[in-house]
């Protein structure tokens, strides 16, 4: 079979499935109709999903870094996470929380944490499914677990993560956060709750309630994909609330890019040009606010 064409409608259907409005069976039925057959859908589905085999850009054993699994106190129990630090740092460093998508703490997010650490920052990728036993191997099971998370408890655990990192040996007490998709939404909500947070970067994250925006103390950088109509519907109201409250923020929309454009393990949705531009902006912003 020749490599099938992946259309925008197929990408949109996968996004609908990813964000809990379609179950697996209905997604595959919809994909089969779009692709012309069930066999074509079976070929296309893995191309839309993330490929764990391509999750590593920075080796887990890179000798420039120290990486380890950690546990620390959460709001309602013990949190687990993946901590990465640059070796031989000259002084105390700013710290960054790396918040995963709604598939949990997977190899891709660990790799993103290593990328942050190579930029001279301490990075911690928490597992927000810790209190449910941790991220499972089965992504569909993880997806279902996210539907059971309490949003307020999640933000409270994020606040606990800020507190943990701010007191960690080797950090300078300044904590920022970067999150993707589900994690981008957590970044936005955390910013409304944590006066200690210094910087927040949300990639295609759902926006917080406008009434909560005046509580934000952190500087914000907000990345959106031009083709992501679902998430982008909330940009204008968020921008107006941020402007009305005099907040420090930047918004970037990457035209022609899809939701999850930064995830290089998803061949159909990854956009290298947008991802590289957003990442450069992100690192510059975090270094500026956490030094």
3-state secondary structure at position 15: helix
pLDDT at 57: 86
- Condensed to tens digits (0 to 9), the pLDDT of residues 165-204 reads 999 999 999 999 999 999 999 999 999 999 999 999 999 9
Burial-class residue 124 by CB neighbours within 10 Å (0-12, 13-18, 19+).
buried
- Ordered by start, the domain boundaries in the chain are 8-48, 59-290
Residue carrying structure tokens 């993880």:
142
- Condensed to tens digits (0 to 9), the pLDDT of residues 202-245 reads 999 999 999 999 999 999 999 999 999 999 999 999 999 999 99
Half-sphere exposure (CA, 13 Å, Cβ side) for 272?
1
pLDDT at 96: 98
Task: Assess contact for 256 and 227: CB atoms under 8 A.
Answer: yes
Is 265 or 67 the better-scoring residue by pLDDT? Answer: 67
- Condensed to tens digits (0 to 9), the pLDDT of residues 244-258 reads 999 999 999 999 999
Q: What is the dotted CATH code of the domain comprising 59-290?
A: 3.40.50.1820
pLDDT at residue 88 greater than cutoff 80? yes
The pLDDT > 90 percentage for the chain reads: 74
52 band by pLDDT with thresholds 50, 70 and 90: low
Q: Please give the full DSSP string across 101-157, using - where no structure is assigned.
A: -TT-S-HHHHHHHHHHHHTT-EEEEEETTGGGTS--S-HHHHHHHHTT--HHHHHHH
20 band by pLDDT with thresholds 50, 70 and 90: low
- Condensed to tens digits (0 to 9), the pLDDT of residues 93-135 reads 999 999 999 999 999 999 999 999 999 999 999 999 999 999 9
Residue 198 CA to chain centroid, in angstroms?
A: 18
Is 44 or 74 the better-scoring residue by pLDDT? Answer: 74
3-state secondary structure at position 221: strand
pLDDT at 1: 45
Whole-prediction pTM: 0.89
3-state secondary structure at position 233: coil
- Condensed to tens digits (0 to 9), the pLDDT of residues 138-172 reads 888 898 899 899 999 999 999 999 999 999 999 99
Residue 197 CA to residue 194 CA, distance in Å, equals 6
pLDDT at 5: 77
* Across 12-20, average pLDDT: 74
Which H or E element spans position 275? helix 272-290
């Amino acid at each position: 079979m020749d490599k099938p064409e992946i259309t925008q409608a197929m990408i949109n259907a996968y996004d609908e499935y990813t964000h809990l409005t379609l179950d697996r069976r209905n997604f595959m039925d919809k994909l089969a109709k779009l692709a012309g057959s069930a066999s074509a859908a079976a070929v296309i589905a893995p191309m839309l999903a993330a490929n764990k085999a391509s999750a590593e850009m920075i080796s887990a054993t890179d000798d420039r870094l120290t990486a380890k699994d950690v546990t620390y106190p959460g709001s309602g129990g013990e949190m687990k996470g993946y901590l990465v630090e640059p070796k031989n740092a000259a002084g105390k460093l700013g710290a960054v929380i790396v918040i995963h998508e709604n598939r949990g703490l997977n190899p891709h997010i660990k790799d993103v944490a290593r990328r942050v650490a190579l930029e001279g920052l301490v990075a911690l990728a928490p597992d927000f499914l810790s209190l449910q036993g941790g991220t499972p191997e089965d992504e569909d099971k993880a997806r279902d677990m996210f539907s059971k998370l309490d949003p307020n408890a999640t933000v409270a655990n994020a606040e606990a993560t800020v507190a943990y990192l701010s007191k960690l040996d080797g950090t300078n007490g300044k904590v920022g956060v970067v999150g993707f998709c589900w994690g981008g939404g957590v970044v936005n909500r955390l910013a409304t709750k944590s006066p200690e947070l210094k910087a927040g970067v949300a990639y295609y994250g759902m926006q917080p309630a406008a009434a909560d925006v005046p509580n934000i103390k952190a500087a914000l950088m907000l990345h959106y994909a031009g083709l992501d109509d679902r998430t982008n519907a909330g940009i204008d109201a968020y921008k107006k609330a941020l402007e009305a409250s005099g907040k420090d923020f930047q918004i970037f929309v990457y035209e022609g890019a899809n939701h999850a454009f930064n995830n290089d393990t998803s061949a159909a949705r990854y956009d290298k040009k947008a991802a590289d531009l957003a990442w450069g902006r992100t690192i510059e912003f975090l270094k500026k606010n956490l030094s």
